[in-house]
Structure 1
Amino acid sequence: MGPASEVYGRKLPFFLGYVLFVLSQIPVALGHDAPTVLVFRFLGGVTSSVCPAITGGWLADFLLPAERGVAVAIFAATTLVGPSIGAITSQVQLQTAMGWRMTAWTTMILGIVSGVAGFIILPETYLPVVEQRHARKLRQETKDWALHSRLDEKPVSIREFLTKYLTLPISMLVSEPILLSMTIYISFTFGLIYLLFVAYPVSFVQERGYGAIDGTLPLLSICAGIIVGAFYASWSTLTTVKQKAASGNALVPEDRLHPMIVGAVSLAIGLLWFAWTSSPAISPWPQILAGIPIGVGVQVILLQSLAYLIDIYTTGAASAISGTMIVRSLVGGTFPLFAPQMYRKFGVSIAVLIIQ
């Protein structure tokens, strides 16, 4: 959907994917066999990728770099807080009579509410499509049929879209070293957070003896760290803009990378802290508090890397981010598959030290 947003505008592909995502929850909730649930969970994951894939391009359309940094901070925080809170709320829903099916119904209901609100509020911002619609309106009003936009003069055929635009994220990924290296780092960081989503129940439920719900509450410390990281990244961006303005310079994409160093150090410290305090013989509070620097690190790394890619590719950011999303999602979905065996063999402390 990312490349489609650079041909047909941001709004149509975004909400087409969004509607398909909401509809995919129905077979998941009603499915009576594993293949049905797995197939539609897969389709739900594919269609829901429109949000991170297109949002970057959407923000690049109408926000200046300084404003974009704050907007991306808010967006990145929601994409990380969501899974953290979801791990807690899903445990509560599992205790209901509907069990795991309740999570699908809840996702569908929340998706409908937020989707309707977003469709009403969000405008089309992709300039070529806005120009095309404006030209169409002027033709109708003035009866001057010679008025055309750039998109009208060179329309994109279905064949061109399939052969050029649909393959653009992959071709960009393999041909541009900056995008590839950033994608590898983003994907590894994303995989780490999903490994930790498995580590918390193992450490607090299996080793410390917490209940199923209580064992997920320590994830709130990661949420707190994510919020702190969003504030830090926003403050860093605004401070850099002021310093650049005072010297007569403008914000450049590389300015986004400086806070990433702080984020990388914070993440490393948090993982070491978590590993060294995971023994049941130690009070749980130090281990719980380790989630704060972990959240700060993950938030700042993912946020600043996203802002960096948006600054570099601007109107083509959706395709660049789509390529990153493919790899990131594969890593995020694969890492938890081997996590239980890893924690069982090495224990939480050694396993976290290994991935650190």
Structure 2
Amino acid sequence: MADTRAMTSDIVSVRSATSTIKEASGPLAIEAGFKTEKASDPYLVLFDENDPLDPKNLSVARKWYLTAIAALLVLNCTFASATPSNIIPLLREEFGFSEEVGILTISLFVCGYIVGPLLWGPLSETYGRRPVFVGSFFVYMCFQIGCALAKNTASILVFRLLGGIFAAAPLANSGAVLSDIWDAKTRGNAMTLFTVAPFAGPGVGPLVAGYIAVAGISWRWLFWIMAIFAGICWLLIVFTVPETYAPVILTKKAKSLRKSTGDSQYYSAMEARVLTFAERFEHILARPFVILFQEPMLIAITAYISFVYGCMYLLFEAYPIVFTEGHHLNLGQSGLMFLPLPIGGIISVILYIIFINPRYAKKVEEYAPAPVPPEARLEIALLAAPFFAISFFWFAWTSYPSISLWAPMMSGVLLGISICWIFLSLLNYIIDAYLIAAASALSANTIVRSCFGAGFPLFATQMYEKLGSQWASTLLGCLATVMIPIPFILVKYGPKLRAKSKFAPSA
């Protein structure tokens, strides 16, 4: 970012305007605050009408391509997070560690999701989405290679943790990319593709790992497959993904105008803000927590999503107890039991596109030219919350070995539908409510839910062995039931909470 002290007095004169929107958190807020200055300041660089540089003016085909890439990146990192679950016996055989240490190959990777968003979300709002994706995914690929070549327990655990940190970039920024390129009316369909990816990865990963184990192939090939997958994604980023963050694009446009015209007075809103070291530290590292702890509605959403996310990762330890031990399936067959999760996700996408999004499109027309209240996004969460609780009760009381394995397995379909709808509804709500700080709000959400995702597998085995699969799953169903009111409360009190928010421009 250019130093405004090197610019002319015309730029200095608008610094007071910057200070008035400082609390709005982020360059997009700065850009919004300067829109009214454009008429009186011809040197402030904004997008022209139908400007080809504006990401929202990309062709529909290009937008869907970038949406697919964003979803693919999320699929990649979530595939890598869960894949080792079915090769833990092979790792234990080679390195001689305990079952708890084996579970750490999953938990430490997910712990990386705690650290990564502290950097990737705010950094993307400072330097742009593309540099963050390019740099982080290359390093992530290198750590997958490190796992494939690991010679001892310490190296594979360290590489898994570091790989998770750099794999967290898509979780923090892919949703923000969608907010960069789609408007509120069309973002819903795009978010369906993005939302199913986090559950397709964990659903497919154990299947691939299981059949590698059954086939007698070295466990190292699993990490080579993940490295190759990551390398392909990195090449797609480098050669096909442009910058989509508007303030960064406008800054480049301002630099280009200064160079082509020889007039140093052109500037972007992002350049007009002078940041001290403390402000930079706050923006990059502390901002997700600042937003989270000052926003009751974000706390409620994050608590619910985190519980749902933790339950999903808990299944990687619960399913082997129910299906491998209870129904005596081999590792490959046990991996097949996870497929109903992504199948449920796909069903949820189809139902959303056919029934839910058209209803939202009508509301866009109804409220035009004003934006639709974010609470309209919560409609499917009102259905999904009870479904999520029901799916655990279903799984609990059909998990006896004497009952056909199809009964507990098919509970995964309803579980997949409910998880996707909960995530789709609440992530859309976050983006609509915190549009100017979407990446940081999503980063805060990702950090907390990753704590749950990392922690739940660590006690899952003990819980299921002590309580039995029936009562352990019933306990989860009861906790899910307690959380059912959260989306209902947000529907009723969300507007009042947003009205008091410093970070929600939708208020």
Q: TM-score, normalised by structure 1?
A: 0.95
Inter-CA distance 155–121: structure 2 relative to 1 (3 Å threshold): farther
The structure 2 residue matched to 1:69, chosen from 180, 188, 194, is: 188
Q: Is the CA contact 1:229–1:300 (under 8 Å) kept in the aligned structure 2?
A: yes
Query: Match for residue 182 of structure 1?
Result: 301
Give the Cα separation in 2 of the matches to 1:87 and 1:302: 22
Give the Cα separation in 2 of the matches to 1:29 and 1:157: 43
Offset of 1:354 from its aligned partner? 0.8
> 1:48 corresponds to which letter in structure 2?
A
Give the Cα separation in 2 of the matches to 1:102 and 1:333: 24
Offset of 1:247 from its aligned partner? 6.9
Query: Match for residue 287 of structure 1?
Result: 408
Matched, 1:321 2:411: no
Give the Cα separation in 2 of the matches to 1:60 and 1:217: 35
> 1:45 corresponds to which letter in structure 2?
G
Offset of 1:198 from its aligned partner? 1.9
SS in structure 2 at match of 1:152: coil
Inter-CA distance 337–220: structure 2 relative to 1 (3 Å threshold): same
Give the Cα separation in 2 of the matches to 1:254 and 1:58: 22
SS in structure 1 at match of 2:329: coil
Q: Which residues of 2 match residues 331-350 of structure 1 at below 5 A? A: 331-350=452-471
1:61-106: CA deviation from partner (whole Å, max 9, x where unpaired): 2211122111111011011111110011111223456533222211
Offset of 1:120 from its aligned partner? 2.2
Q: Is the CA contact 1:190–1:332 (under 8 Å) kept in the aligned structure 2?
A: yes
Give the Cα separation in 1 of the matches to 2:277 and 2:299: 28
Offset of 1:207 from its aligned partner? 0.5
Inter-CA distance 269–163: structure 2 relative to 1 (3 Å threshold): closer
CA RMSD of aligned residues (A): 1.8
- Number of aligned residue pairs: give it: 356
Give the Cα separation in 2 of the matches to 1:250 and 1:159: 35
Matched, 1:119 2:119: no
Give the Cα separation in 2 of the matches to 1:325 and 1:240: 26
> 1:242 corresponds to which letter in structure 2?
K
Q: Is the CA contact 2:430–2:442 (under 8 Å) kept in the aligned structure 1?
A: yes
Give the Cα separation in 2 of the matches to 1:152 and 1:280: 64
1:246-268: CA deviation from partner (whole Å, max 9, x where unpaired): 57675321011121111112112
The structure 2 residue matched to 1:212, chosen from 322, 331, 336, is: 331
Matched, 1:49 2:177: no
Offset of 1:233 from its aligned partner? 3.0
SS in structure 1 at match of 2:331: coil
Give the Cα separation in 2 of the matches to 1:250 and 1:311: 9
The structure 2 residue matched to 1:151, chosen from 258, 270, 289, is: 270
> 2:172 corresponds to which letter in structure 1?
A
1:268-297: CA deviation from partner (whole Å, max 9, x where unpaired): 221111111111111222222211111101
Give the Cα separation in 1 of the matches to 2:178 and 2:234: 18
Q: Is the CA contact 1:57–1:315 (under 8 Å) kept in the aligned structure 2?
A: no
Runs ≥4 residues deviating over 6 A = none
Unaligned runs of 5+ in 1: none
Give the Cα separation in 2 of the matches to 1:77 and 1:270: 18
Q: Determine which structure has more spread, i.e. the larger CA radius of gyration.
A: 2
Greater mean alpha carbon deviation, residues 243-252 or residues 333-342? 243-252
Q: TM-score, normalised by structure 2?
A: 0.67
Inter-CA distance 158–215: structure 2 relative to 1 (3 Å threshold): same
